[in-house]
Amino acid sequence: MDVAQRRTAIEEQVIRTGEVSFVELAESFGVSEMTIRRDIEALQTQGIVRRVSGGAIALSGTAFEPSYGLRAGRAADSKEHIAEEVAALLRPGETVLFDSGSTVLAIARAVRGRGLRLTVLTPSIGVAQELADEPDTQVLLIGGLVRPGELSLIGPDAEQMIGRYNCDTYIAGVAGVDAERGLTEYHPQEASVKQAAVRASTRVIVGVEAAKLGRVHLVTVAPLTVVSTLVTDASSDHPTVVAARAGGADVVVVPAPHPIASRGETA
């Protein structure tokens, strides 16, 4: 296990348990306490944990955003299944606005090789890289301020550029989907970019793992009623799924590859 993998594992553990100790982590990973202290200091710099005497505690709440690396590694099988279903909903020749985030990146991968001849707009450097060489596909990377780690583009420039275009479909990536609070996000500027994308698009598709349903984060992006299609591995009787259907959304339920925790963290 290299440094990045160990720190991701520590991050996941502290989020799951709420607190960790230097001694226990050192024994678990087979490294020195000094190495663990450096790992914790790095995670504290990223705003993930707070160092305390003998260990660290999680910084939790609606404003806490797990790192991209941690979110990307979670529910990977579920994301792949959801991605295939979302890709199958796209129509040849559409103008599609791909959001940022690990689930949307999985959807971009699922689009490859389908011959859809899409015009793609995206604030995600990862999505742009994924689809740049896809035959007969035009990719427009939205400008703006680059978020480290996320490699997404945010800020007024990004929002204004999105507003210049008329898109057939927006593939939204969100941190939480709730019956009352709608689509929610951790980061205010990310949320503003997503709001601009909703306004620019005729159809909004949300692909989301079950763990994100019922979760509410810092900023509401849009009400649940903006969702045209919800693709999820949650059960068809989940309260958020029921609310989405009642609000007019088409709901596609894909089989979960393994049991999903009801309150697991995601992104």
- Domains in the chain (CATH in brackets) are 3-60 (1.10.10.10), 70-253 (3.40.50.1360)
Residue 99 banded pLDDT, cuts 50, 70, 90 = very high
- Going by C-alpha positions, the residue among 157, 140, 145 that lies closest to residue 98 is 140
| Of 46-60, 61-75, 195-209, minimum mean pLDDT range | 61-75
Residue 2 banded pLDDT, cuts 50, 70, 90 = confident
Quote the mean pLDDT of the chain: 88
**152 DSSP 8-state letter:** B
Residue 260 banded pLDDT, cuts 50, 70, 90 = very low
Judge whether residue 224 has pLDDT over 80. Answer: yes
Contact 82, 231 (CB under 8 A): yes
Say how many CA atoms lie within 13 Å of 7 toward its Cβ: 20
Average pLDDT over residues 6-26: 84
Q: Give whichever of 13-22, 146-155, 200-209, 253-262 has the largest mean pLDDT.
A: 200-209
Task: Quickly list H helices, 46-101.
Answer: 68-73, 76-89
Element (H, E) at 102: helix 102-111
| Strand-pair partners of 153 | 146
Q: For the chain, what percent of residues have pLDDT higher than 90?
A: 64
Please give the full DSSP string across 127-149, using - where no structure is assigned: HHHHHTTSTT-EEEEPPSEEPTT
Element (H, E) at 125: helix 125-131
Residue type, 114: R
Contact 85, 107 (CB under 8 A): no
Report the chain's C-alpha Rg in angstroms: 19
SS3 172: strand
pLDDT in the model for residue 242: 97
CA 43 to chain centre: 20
Judge whether residue 90 has pLDDT over 50. Answer: yes
Average pLDDT over residues 191-214: 95
